[in-house]
C-alpha cells in the first residue's frame, strides 16, 4: 500500500516536473525566437545601409564616368598642344611650364582612369549577396527552431498524457486496495460508506487552500489523537511481543503454536475494536457535520425567501425605509451564513484530513497484522516441520531399541546354552521318550 502511494506521489511529481520543463522549454524557445527576430532586424538594417552605400557608389561611379569623358577631352587637348609645341619651338621657361602642366594633366588622367577600378560595384554586390544569404540562413534557423519547438511541445503533451493515464491507473489500484482493506476489516453500520468517502477524499488530494485556522472541536481532535497514539502503542507492543516470540523460538527447540495464534487473535481483535471505535467517532463527527450543513441549507432557504419577499415588497411599492431594513437584515444574514459556511468547510477539511490519517494508520496496522500473521504461519510451519523431524527420530529410536532388544535376547540365549549344554540338548531332542533315553545314556 505504501509502495503504491509512493508510486502515485512519484507520478504526480513527474507530471509536475514535465509541466515545469515544458514551460521552461517554451520560454527558452520564445527567447530564441525573439533573439533571432532581433538579429534579423539588425541584419535588415545593415542590408539597408549597404543598399544606401551601393546607391552612393553607383552615383559616384556615374560621376567618375562623366569625369572620364572630360579627361578624354582633356587628353585630346593635351595631344593637340604637344603637336603644336613640337611644330613651334618655345623658350625654356615656356617649355618647363608646359611640361609641368602636361605632367599634372597626365597624372589627373591616370587618377581618373584608375578611379573606376577602385570604385567598382563588385564589393557592394558581394555584400548584398552575403546579406541575402545570411538573412535566408537566419530565416531557415528560425523556421527550424519553430518546428523543434512544436515537436518538443507535442512530445511533452504525449508525456503528460501518458503520465496522466498512469496516474489514473495508480488511483484505480489504490481504490481497489482500499476496497480489499474494507473487505478484510468488517465494519458495521455505515463503515463502508465512510471508507468510500475516505478513499475519494484521499484520491482527490489535499485542498487547494491553506490549512484552517482555529479548530472548533478541539476535544474531538484530542480524542482522535489519543486513539491514534493508542494504536501506535499497540503496534509497538505487537512488534515487541513478536521479537520476544522469535527469541524464545530460537532459544528452545519446541514451539507452542496454539498459544501464539490465540495471542495474535486477541491482538487482532483489540486492533479491530480500536479501529471500529475510531470509525464510530468519525461517523459521529460526519453526522454532526451533515446536521450543520442541513442547518446551512435551511438558512439559505430562509435567505432565499427573504429575497423573494424583498422582491415582492419592491413590486408592492413598500416604503424605502422598510426596504432598507430588509436589505440590511438580508446582508447580515448573508454574512452570517457565509461565515458559517466557511467554518463548516474548515471543519469538513479537518475531518477529511483526520479521516485520511486514520485510514493511513489503519493501513499501517493492517499491514503489520498481515506481517504478524505471515510470521505466525511461518513459525507454525517450522514447528510442524520440527514435530515431523522429531517423530522420524522417535521412530528411528524405536527401531534401534527393538533391534537392540532382539540382539540382547539372542545373546542371552546363546550364553545360557553355552553354560547349560544339557538344557540345550533337551531343547534339541525330539519329543518321544526313546530319543530322550538314548541322549541321556
- Give Cα 45 distance to the centre of its chain: 49
Cell numbers 528411528 correspond to: 396
State if pTM tops 0.85.
no
Q: Classify residue 369 by its DSSP letter.
A: H
Calpha distance 145→341 (Å, rounded): 52
| 159-184 pLDDT, tens digit each | 777 777 777 776 676 666 666 656 65
Q: What is the DSSP string of 92-148?
A: HHHHHHHHHHHHHHHHHHHHHHHHHHHT-THHHHHHHHHHHHHHHHHHHHHHHHHHH
Q: Which residues contact 131 (CB under 8 A, 6 or more apart)?
A: 43, 46, 47, 50
The pLDDT tens digits of the residues spanning 47-68 come to 888 778 878 877 777 777 766 6
CB 309 within 8 A of CB 286: no
Q: Is 189 left (phi over 0), alpha (psi -120 to 50) or beta?
A: left
Q: How does the average pLDDT of the chain come out, rounded?
A: 67
DSSP string, 6-35: HHHHHHHHHHHHHHHHHHHHHHHHHHHHHH
Nearest of 410, 392, 367 to residue 177 by alpha carbon:
367
Tell me the mean pLDDT in the region 298-315: 68
Name the most confidently modeled range: 194-198, 292-296, 375-379: 375-379
Cell reading at 298: 435551511
| Average pLDDT of span 137-153 | 76
pLDDT above 60 for 214: no
Determine the Cα–Cα distance for residues 46 and 231; give it in Å rounded to an integer.
79
Q: How confident is the model at residue 211 (pLDDT cuts 50, 70, 90)?
A: very low
The CB-based long-range contact list for 264-267 (8 Å cut-off, 24+ gap) reads 264/372, 264/373, 264/376, 267/234, 267/238, 267/241, 267/369, 267/372
The three three-digit cell numbers of residue 53, written as one number: 552605400
Question: Could you tell me which residue, 73 or 257, shows the higher pLDDT?
Answer: 73
Angle at 20 (CA atoms; ends 175, 212), nearest 5 degrees? 55
Q: Contact at 8 Å (CB) between 11 and 170?
A: yes
What pLDDT does 136 receive?
Answer: 75
**φ and ψ of 206, to 5 deg:** -70, 155
Between 91 and 35, the more confident residue is 35
pLDDT in tens, 345-361: 787 788 778 878 877 87
Where does 337-378 show beta strands of DSSP type E? none
pLDDT over threshold 50, residue 199? no
For residues 357 and 228, is the Cβ–Cβ distance under 8 A?
yes
- pLDDT given for residue 177 in this prediction: 64
pLDDT tens for residues 91-118? 544 455 455 454 544 454 444 444 444 4
Q: What angle do CA 126, 129, 135 make, to 5 degrees?
A: 140
Cα separation, 152 vs 27, whole angstroms? 12
Distances (CA, A) of 291 to 295, 296, 298, 349: 6, 9, 10, 16
Amino acid at each position: 500500500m505504501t509502495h503504491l502511494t509512493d508510486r502515485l506521489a512519484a507520478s504526480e511529481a513527474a507530471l509536475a516536473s514535465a509541466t515545469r520543463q515544458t514551460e521552461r522549454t517554451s520560454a527558452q524557445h520564445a527567447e530564441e525566437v525573439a533573439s533571432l527576430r532581433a538579429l534579423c532586424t539588425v541584419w535588415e538594417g545593415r542590408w539597408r545601409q549597404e543598399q544606401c552605400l551601393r546607391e552612393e557608389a553607383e552615383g559616384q561611379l556615374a560621376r567618375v564616368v562623366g569625369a572620364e569623358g572630360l579627361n578624354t577631352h582633356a587628353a585630346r587637348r593635351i595631344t593637340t598642344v604637344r603637336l603644336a609645341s613640337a611644330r613651334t619651338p618655345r623658350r625654356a621657361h615656356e617649355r618647363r611650364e608646359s611640361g609641368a602642366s602636361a605632367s599634372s594633366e597626365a597624372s589627373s588622367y591616370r587618377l581618373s582612369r584608375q578611379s573606376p577600378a577602385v570604385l567598382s560595384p563588385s564589393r557592394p554586390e558581394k555584400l548584398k549577396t552575403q546579406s541575402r544569404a545570411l538573412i535566408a540562413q537566419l530565416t531557415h534557423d528560425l523556421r527550424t527552431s519553430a518546428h523543434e519547438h512544436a515537436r518538443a511541445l507535442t512530445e511533452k503533451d504525449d508525456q503528460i498524457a501518458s503520465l496522466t493515464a498512469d496516474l489514473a491507473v495508480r488511483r484505480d489500484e489504490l481504490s481497489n486496495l482500499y476496497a480489499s482493506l474494507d473487505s478484510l476489516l468488517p465494519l458495521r453500520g455505515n463503515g463502508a460508506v465512510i471508507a468510500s468517502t475516505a478513499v475519494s477524499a484521499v484520491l482527490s488530494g489535499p485542498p487547494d487552500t491553506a490549512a484552517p485556522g482555529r479548530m472548533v472541536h478541539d476535544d474531538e481532535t484530542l480524542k482522535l489523537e489519543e486513539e491514534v497514539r493508542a494504536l501506535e502503542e499497540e503496534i509497538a507492543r505487537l512488534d515487541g511481543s513478536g521479537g520476544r516470540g522469535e527469541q524464545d523460538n530460537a532459544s528452545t527447540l519446541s514451539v507452542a503454536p496454539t498459544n501464539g495464534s490465540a495471542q495474535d487473535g486477541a491482538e487482532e481483535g483489540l486492533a479491530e475494536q480500536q479501529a471500529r471505535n475510531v470509525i464510530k467517532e468519525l461517523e459521529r463527527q460526519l453526522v454532526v457535520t451533515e446536521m450543520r450543513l442541513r442547518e446551512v441549507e435551511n438558512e439559505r432557504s430562509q435567505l432565499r425567501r427573504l429575497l423573494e419577499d424583498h422582491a415582492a415588497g419592491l413590486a408592492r411599492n413598500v416604503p424605502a425605509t422598510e426596504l432598507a431594513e430588509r436589505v440590511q437584515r438580508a446582508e447580515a444574514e448573508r454574512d452570517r451564513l457565509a461565515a458559517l459556511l466557511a467554518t463548516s468547510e474548515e471543519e469538513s477539511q479537518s475531518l477529511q484530513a483526520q479521516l485520511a490519517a486514520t485510514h493511513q494508520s489503519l493501513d499501517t496496522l493492517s499491514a503489520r497484522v498481515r506481517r504478524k500473521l505471515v510470521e505466525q504461519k511461518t513459525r507454525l510451519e517450522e514447528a510442524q516441520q520440527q514435530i515431523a523431524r522429531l517423530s522420524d527420530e522417535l521412530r528411528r529410536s524405536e527401531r534401534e531399541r527393538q533391534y537392540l532388544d532382539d540382539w540382547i535376547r539372542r545373546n542371552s540365549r546363546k550364553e545360557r546354552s553355552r553354560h547349560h549344554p544339557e538344557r540345550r540338548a533337551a531343547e534339541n531332542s525330539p519329543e518321544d521318550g526313546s530319543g530322550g533315553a538314548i541322549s541321556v545314556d
